Amino acid sequence: MNPTKPHVVVIGSGLGGLSAAIALATEGFTVDLLEKNDKVGGKLNVLEKQGFSFDLGPSILTMPHIFRKLFEDAGKNMDDYIAIQSVEPHWRNFFEDGSTLDLSADPLVMKHELDTLGPDTARQFGEFLAYSKQLCEATEAGYFAHGLDSFWELLGHYGVVKSLQAFDVFRSMDQGVRRFIKDPKLVDVLNYFIKYVGSSPYDAPALMNLLPYIQFGYGLWYVKGGMYGIAQGLQKLALELGVAVQVNAEVAEIQHSNGQASAVRLVDGRVLAADIVVSNMEVIPAYQNLLQGQEKEISRLQKFAPSCSGLVLHLGVDRLYDQLAHHNFFYSDHPREHFKAIFHDHKLSEDPTIYLVAPCKSDPSQAPEGTEIIKILPHIPHLDPERPLTAQDYADLRERVLLKLERMGLTDLRKHIICEESWTPIDIQANYYSNQGSIYGVAADRFKNLGFKNSQRSKVLKNLYFVGGSVNPGGGMPMVTLSGQLVRDKILADLAKH
């Protein structure tokens, strides 16, 4: 390696890849960023159709300080690149009995909402949020700040006793919620914060209860003009820092010798030499597709099972639904059965919980006047070759979901659809090479992996590193962006040893 200015090739320009490229370029590395699709951003994608601007990927921005740090480290101000605004209410929860519950950043509004569930519910929620904050602060101090990559590193950093106490390791997420919350509706709402990482609250460790505090403590945000503005702002910064961004540049192979990556070969035959390779392709697909003979390593990584996938419906409708907030959840009356279907039976839920985004509530410019966007996302199983689902299965789920939404208040929704774009796990896998169509990387499961993800350092090639949702600290926009900054720290530390 050139000790003064190593050359890094980053495979994939999702937020993890963009973040890694920016963080490394800021440190003086020369960086090539290769993207197989026609634009950067990975799952943070956008589609213009019939006057509607559909954000195909993530819809919620939290922890904006993680993004800000990328710009600050480069001597820039994020506000000059990405314009964000807070969203209020955070989201609206709809239940089958016709009731609703808003989550709000305003403590007085929040108390009023919680009082509808019972006179003691606000106190219980306050105690739960204090517990959530404690989990978050403990996680930020070590796991996030130092890029801890395994349970053994966690024990080494915090010590055994503090690790067991600080992270509530013997409970599931659901059990952690029920320590404090008695009302079943609020239990369902807090359990469904697991949506950020595409897992089950009954399988995930109680540590995942840090997610509510992340939202209440750091706010919930929208990007003016659409969420894809994050990718555009990061791309602009990357180019200013000298990152060579290439789109329509698919990597076919990581070339290597003597336990080190030496180059990447593109599908078009070009070969780029590399001192360091950073893969934003998920770990298991990268070993399957870019390196030969890695069956032993792939087998070792099976505990890092894919997160769920989703049936993503992007609808343009020729009316406004005034009862919707920007973010909405329509809850299953049978949550345990819903999660069991997805994560254990690998079936489509008969009564799914539905996430619905109506971005025009914050940004009417995303649709023609008098119309709005309805984005619908029920979580569903990742692709499973042993239990395949058909196009008809997905079509039946679409109908089931739309009927449920109509029953729960979105009158004649199907009659008002004038534009539609739908994605299944097959589309997600084809476009992003995610593991079995996963959306969020690795499922957090306290029995399979203690909630940890793959390590960022490859155990196969000593100068190959990984970023994105399949590695620590995990899925979701802030975490994959943080992974790019943490991989910079690991690369710098490893170079300093040589």
pLDDT of residue 305: 94
Convert the pLDDT of each residue in 20-41 to its tens digit.
999 999 999 999 999 999 999 9
Q: Which two tokens stand for residue 405?
A: 């939404």
Beta strands in 51-193 (DSSP E): 52-55, 84-86, 91-94, 100-103
pLDDT of residue 4: 67
pLDDT of residue 1: 40
Please state the separation of Cα 271 from the chain's center in Å. 31
Query: Are 408 and 99 contacting, i.e. CB atoms less than 8 angstroms apart?
Result: no
Dihedral angle sign, alpha carbons of residues 136, 137, 139, 140: positive
Q: Above pLDDT 90, what percent of the chain?
A: 92
pLDDT above 50 (res 2): no
Query: Are 384 and 311 contacting, i.e. CB atoms less than 8 angstroms apart?
Result: no
How do 244-246 and 417-423 pair as beta strands? unpaired
Closest CA to 317 of 364, 356, 371, 360: 371
* Separation between Cα atoms, residue 186 and residue 295, nearest integer Å: 44
Average pLDDT of the chain is 96
Closest CA to 313 of 405, 222, 226: 405
The sheet carrying 260-266 orders its strands as: 251-257, 260-266, 271-273
Largest CA distance in the chain: 68
| Cα angle 288, 294, 295; round to 5 | 90
pLDDT of residue 169: 87
* Separation between Cα atoms, residue 183 and residue 202, nearest integer Å: 17
Model confidence at 112, pLDDT cuts 50, 70, 90, reads very high
* Separation between Cα atoms, residue 405 and residue 64, nearest integer Å: 32
DSSP labels for 8-26?
EEEE--BHHHHHHHHHHHH
Closest CA to 447 of 62, 4, 151: 151
Residue 422: phi and psi, rounded to 5, are -125, 145
Question: What's the one-letter identity of residue 301?
Answer: L
* Separation between Cα atoms, residue 231 and residue 247, nearest integer Å: 13
pLDDT above 70 (res 166): yes
User: What count of residues does the chain have?
Assistant: 498
Q: Which two tokens stand for residue 161?
A: 């006793």
Measure Cα distances from 238 to 119, 352, 494 in Å: 52, 40, 23
All domains in the chain, ordered by first residue: 7-85+225-304+445-497 (3.50.50.60)
Closest CA to 129 of 179, 197, 95, 79: 179
pLDDT of residue 81: 98
Convert the pLDDT of each residue in 313-325 to its tens digit.
999 999 999 999 9
DSSP structure class, residue 45: -
Average the pLDDT over 461-467 and give the result.
97
Number of helical (H) and strand (E) elements in the chain, helices listed first: 16, 20
